[in-house]
Amino acid sequence: MGSRGANVLLSRASRIKTKLQSVLEAKLLEVEDVSYQHAGHAAVKDNANETHFNVKVVSGKFDGQNLVKRHRMVYDALADELESGLHAISIVAKTPKEAGLD
């Protein structure tokens, strides 16, 4: 994958993946750009580009955390993205046990 300097050339999806991978030590990570589904959405207007994503993360770090805390962990990891045009993410956050990956 590109170095830090080349970050901007990577798609948001890959940036999301990288960040979540490193912060959450994900055992399973799926990131899907679904911005097209929200084109025409009030706040998106003409730029339905890399604005909405579906994210599925399986990580041991979610153990003992309720849903709100888990989602916050994901949001915190993606703070930069959220400030630069990432509009919304649908999050599925499971522990390895819950995902049947034990």
Partner 1 sequence: MAAINLTLPPHTGTTSFLRPPSTSKTYTYTYTPSKTQSFHSTRLNNTHLSLSSLKPNNRRQLNGLVVCAVGKLSETELVPVENDDVVVPSGSGVYAVYDNNGDMQFLGLSRNIQSSVVFHRKSVPHLCASVKVGVVDSPDRAALTEAWKSWMEEHIEATGKVPPGNEKGNTTWVRQAPKTKADIRLTPRPNTKLTVPLEELIDRMVKENKVVAFIKGSRTAPQCGFSQRVVGILETEGVDYESVDVLDEEHNSGLRETLKRYSNWPTFPQVFVNGELVGGCDILSSMHEKGELADLFKK
> Contact with partner 1 (CB under 8 A): which of 10, 23, 91, 99?
91
Beta strands in 1-102 (DSSP E): 28-33, 52-58, 88-94
The answer to whether residues 12 and 49 touch, using CB atoms and an 8 Å cutoff, is no
Q: Does 88 bind partner 1 (CB under 8 A)?
A: yes
Q: Does 38 bind partner 1 (CB under 8 A)?
A: yes
CB of 21 to partner 1, least distance (A): 20
Site size for partner 1, by CB under 8 A? 17
> Contact with partner 1 (CB under 8 A): which of 2, 30, 49, 67?
67
Angle at 23 between CA 19 and CA 28, to 5 degrees: 80
Q: Which residue stretches of 7-95 are H helix?
A: 12-24, 67-77, 79-83
- Binding residues for partner 1, rule: CB under 8 A, are 38, 41-43, 67-68, 71-72, 75, 79, 82, 87-92
